[in-house]
């Protein structure tokens, strides 16, 4: 909520800085009036009419470009806004004033941030900052610094962002702009919250509150108070012991907002005020009063689905707290009915979409799944229990799709390929689906077997599990140390031992794992059974997928596949050489009848592009450095002359006139994720779907290239020589072979290779 209102504040600031009363055409003024009323489409229409006036000089044209860009940005049309600002930049650099040049570049930085390009935004803004500091206009400099602070915040460079916001506050005071002061102080509250500084958070909040009370009136005052009230509520939640008084501050703010909303008959504002007052009472366990306020919020939000779901979700929590589980389930369903159609729209205009996902979307789906699983645990009737388990898993599945959409900034994942129930019906009798879900107080293990879905609960919360997983990964990469054994055994006891009797009883040999949270960052094939002194991969072929609905489980014939082998052995672009790559490529080449090779200098971005355009390869093998980062824009595969981004790879491997079927297998034999980073590992897990491949083999960390060559070659040989062998079992046999050697027996050499997606 608060981000949207603060976005309006920034837009208002932009217009106060760029509006020129000398430009008095009817179209311009009417557009301005429409924009202030929130009628963006009408504002755009009038400004485009004004732009068509042939008599307009350069300076007013630049101002209209900026206005149009801001309007389109507010509607989420970033590409259009970016194009308009580029046109404004050309005119400003050619014949505009210095002030206009700075403003245009400031807006460009902001739109780049909205387009999820924070590094490019930072570069643009910091270059312009040098010009702005030589221009004696405090509000222009403040506008630029505010956008830079937002960018640094997204980049998690909090100390630098804080310095920027502090300077914005001082400049806004000098320039007499209270709205910008309030914006900067509110941003400081968020930063101090991130930095866990309770005293500074409260100080900044009180200053912002004082400024709102002294400077604003009527409608603007209500929405700014609402934003500050939500910040106060966040401080109360985060600093419950350190700031006991902040709850009372929030209460007073929301009551004042309610009074203003009633005076103005603003239903949206009334909904927010009632809803957040209800949340305060919920935290105090005054459920009857909380429920009354929440129902008022729902009543006033009938025309606003973007907030209706918040209060239906709140009502679900309240009903659950009062042991009305039937009512809570009904309320959760209503919340998702409102949320599902608009969930991707919630990201529009947000500078930090990950925060939106974590704070406004994930808790709703996760909370519903939590309730359903708790209900399932208490029910004995098999049919009812199974229905609840599948519904809970379906909610987590939908959440996983949204999470991938947010990470890749793409809606392509919404077209799921297979329903989970359909996938289960296709499983052979020796394959099981292992679905761990991590909650704060426990871990739920859902196991789909030929005889149905089973629920196992272990009393280990997410934080405890995460701590052990992180330590395990750290130790697992030390190829000369056995220190990983302690955590490996512990995780095996938590995750595998409780389900092992069921797996054994049904003679399971393949595990499809849908990892959650920190479990994405580690290779579960390396879990260690201390009883038989064997790793999990000795017992089961292991497959990883980011979601059951994202697997294409149809088996395809593998006779005479057409293979493209790409490799980079030379050290280029400051990356180390990979001397075993030529042998790896040569050994694989001997296994296939139809293959083409791009090695070293031939492995250029242009050659790869042309090869994939010319031929619908079944298998694409890339033996080169690769990196999966928490920021998908920094994820790439290294070619001889450039870096191949995931977006570019998707374009090359996507279905087209030549390619009627997806790539059967994409192998990335020297990639790595950021160490222990769950978000980077999410990108690795989603690469199969994003790249348009049915299966991907990739590694969680960089592995000795000699052992990599041995393992990957053995994998391909297993596929070619045993046509009936699944990809999962082909990888299992290759891992077992490498692990059997004295030189590479440590799991650091064989464990990080994951088979992602289709396992057949």
Task: Quickly tell me which residue has 């030549």 as its tokens.
Answer: 658
Q: Just give the CATH number of 420-550.
A: 3.30.420
Q: How big is the chain by its Cα radius of gyration, in Å?
A: 28
**What residue spans of 195-243 are helical by DSSP H?**
198-215, 218-238
| Spatial distance between the Cα atoms of 263 and 141, rounded to a whole number of angstroms | 37
Least-confidence region, from 132-136, 151-155, 191-195, 359-363: 132-136
Give the count of beta carbons closer than 10 Å to the beta carbon of residue 279: 24
Q: What pLDDT was estimated at residue 620? A: 96
pLDDT band of residue 514 (cuts 50, 70, 90) is very high
pLDDT tens for 417-443 read 445 556 776 788 999 999 999 999 999
The CATH T-level fold of domain 562-757 is Rossmann fold (3.40.50)
Q: Are 125 and 95 in contact (CB under 8 A)?
A: no
pLDDT at 9 over 70: no
The percent of residues in the chain predicted with pLDDT above 70, rounded, is 92
Residue 21 pLDDT > 70: no
Q: Identify the bridge partners of residue 695 per DSSP, sorted by sequence position.
A: 757
Tens of pLDDT, residue by residue over 166-210, are 999 999 999 999 999 999 999 999 999 999 999 999 999 999 999
- Give a three-class secondary structure readout of 472-491: HHHHHCCCCCCCHHHHHHHH
Side-by-side strand order, sheet with 619-623? 452-458, 443-449, 431-438, 510-513, 541-544, 753-757, 695-699, 665-668, 619-623, 562-567, 594-599
Selection from 703, 674, 691 nearest residue 526 by Cα: 703
Of residues 77, 678, 713, the one with CA closest to residue 362: 678
DSSP for 396-463, written as a single string: HHHHHHHHHHHHHT-SGGGS-S--HHHHHHH--TTEEEEEEEE-SS-EEEEEEETTEEEEEEES--HH
Question: Over the chain, what is the mean pLDDT?
Answer: 89
Domain assignments of the chain as residue spans, ordered by start: 299-408, 420-550, 562-757
**Residue 544 and residue 659: Cα distance in Å, rounded?**
26
Map residue 155 onto helix, strand or coil: coil
SS3 call for 549? helix
Q: How confident is the model at residue 564 (pLDDT cuts 50, 70, 90)?
A: very high
Residue 760, SS3 per DSSP: coil
* Cβ within 8 Å of residue 750, ≥6 positions away: 537, 707, 711, 734, 735, 738, 739, 744
| Distance (Å, whole) CA 107 – CA 70 | 8
Q: What is the pLDDT of residue 662?
A: 83
Q: What is the mean pLDDT of residues 231-260?
A: 95
Least confident range of 54-58, 86-90, 342-346, 563-567: 54-58
Location of structure tokens 């909303």: 261
As a whole number, mean pLDDT of residues 265-285 equals 96
Q: What is the DSSP letter of 575?
A: P
Both tokens assigned to 280:
């305060």
């Amino acid at each position: 909520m608060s981000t949207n209102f603060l976005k309006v504040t920034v837009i208002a600031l932009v217009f106060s800085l760029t509006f020129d009363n000398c430009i008095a055409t009817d179209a311009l003024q009417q557009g301005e009036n429409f924009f202030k009323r929130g009628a963006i489409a009408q504002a755009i229409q009038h400004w485009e009419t004004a732009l068509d006036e042939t008599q307009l000089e350069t300076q007013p044209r630049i101002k209209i470009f900026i206005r149009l860009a801001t309007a389109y940005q507010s509607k989420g049309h970033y590409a259009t806004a970016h194009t308009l600002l580029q046109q404004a930049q050309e005119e400003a650099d050619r014949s505009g004033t210095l002030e206009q040049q700075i403003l245009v570049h400031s807006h460009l930085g902001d739109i780049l941030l909205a387009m999820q390009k924070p590094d490019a935004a930072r570069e643009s803004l910091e270059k312009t900052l040098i010009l702005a500091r030589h221009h004696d206009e405090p509000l222009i400099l403040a506008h630029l610094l505010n956008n830079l602070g937002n960018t640094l915040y997204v980049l998690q460079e909090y100390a630098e962002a804080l310095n920027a916001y502090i300077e914005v506050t001082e400049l806004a005071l000098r320039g007499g702009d209270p709205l910008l002061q309030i914006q900067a102080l509110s941003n400081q509250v968020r930063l101090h919250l991130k930095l866990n500084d309770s005293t500074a958070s409260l100080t900044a909040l009180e200053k912002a509150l004082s400024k709102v009370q002294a400077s604003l009136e009527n409608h603007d005052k209500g929405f700014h108070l609402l934003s500050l009230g939500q910040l106060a509520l966040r401080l109360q939640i985060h600093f419950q012991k350190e700031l006991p008084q902040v709850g009372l501050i929030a209460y007073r703010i929301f009551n004042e907002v309610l009074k203003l909303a009633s005076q103005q008959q603003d239903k949206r504002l009334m909904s927010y005020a009632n809803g957040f007052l209800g949340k305060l009472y919920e935290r105090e366990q005054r459920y009857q009063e909380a429920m009354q306020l929440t129902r008022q919020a729902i009543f006033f939000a009938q025309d606003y689905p973007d907030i209706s779901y918040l209060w239906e979700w709140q009502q679900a929590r309240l009903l659950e707290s009062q042991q009305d589980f039937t009512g809570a389930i009904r309320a959760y369903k209503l919340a998702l009915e409102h949320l599902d159609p608009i969930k991707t729209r919630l990201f529009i205009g947000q500078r930090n979409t990950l925060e939106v996902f974590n704070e406004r979307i994930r808790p709703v789906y996760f909370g519903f799944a939590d309730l359903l699983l708790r209900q399932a645990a208490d029910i004995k009737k098999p049919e009812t229990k199974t229905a609840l388990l599948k519904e809970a898993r379906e909610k987590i599945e939908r959440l996983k799709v949204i999470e991938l959409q947010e990470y890749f900034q793409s809606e392509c994942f919404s077209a799921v390929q297979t329903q989970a129930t359909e996938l289960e019906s296709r499983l052979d009798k020796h394959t099981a689906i292992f679905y761990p879900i991590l909650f704060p107080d426990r871990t739920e293990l859902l196991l789909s077997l030929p005889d149905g879905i089973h629920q196992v609960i272990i009393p280990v919360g997410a934080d405890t599990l995460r701590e052990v997983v992180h330590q395990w990964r750290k130790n697992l990469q030390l190829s000369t140390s056995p220190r990983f054994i302690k955590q490996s055994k512990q995780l095996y006891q938590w995750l595998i031992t409780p389900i092992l009797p069921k797996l054994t009883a049904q003679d399971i040999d393949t595990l499809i794992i849908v990892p959650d949270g920190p479990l994405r960052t580690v290779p579960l094939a390396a879990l260690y059974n201390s009883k038989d002194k064997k790793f999990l991969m000795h017992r089961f072929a292991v497959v990883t997928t980011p979601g059951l609905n994202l697997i294409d489980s149809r088996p395809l014939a593998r006779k005479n596949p057409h293979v493209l082998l790409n490799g980079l052995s030379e050290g280029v672009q400051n990356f180390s050489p990979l001397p075993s790559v030529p042998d790896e490529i040569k050994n694989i080449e001997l296994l296939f009848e139809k293959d083409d090779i791009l090695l070293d200098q031939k492995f250029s971005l242009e050659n790869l592009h042309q090869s994939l355009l010319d031929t619908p390869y079944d298998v694409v093998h890339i033996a080169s450095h690769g990196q999966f980062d928490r920021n998908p824009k920094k994820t790439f595969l290294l070619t001889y002359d450039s870096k191949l981004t995931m977006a570019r790879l998707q374009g090359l491997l996507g279905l087209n006139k030549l390619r009627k079927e997806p790539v059967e297998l994409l192998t990335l034999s020297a990639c790595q994720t950021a160490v222990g980073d769950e978000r980077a590992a999410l990108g690795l897990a989603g690469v199969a779907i994003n790249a348009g491949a049915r299966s991907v083999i990739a590694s969680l960390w960089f592995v000795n290239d000699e052992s990599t060559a041995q393992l990957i070659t053995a994998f391909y040989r297993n596929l070619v020589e045993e046509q009936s062998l699944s990809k999962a079992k082909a990888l299992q046999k290759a891992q077992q072979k490498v692990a059997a050697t004295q030189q590479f027996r440590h799991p650091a050499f064989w464990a990080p290779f994951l088979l992602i997606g289709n396992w057949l």
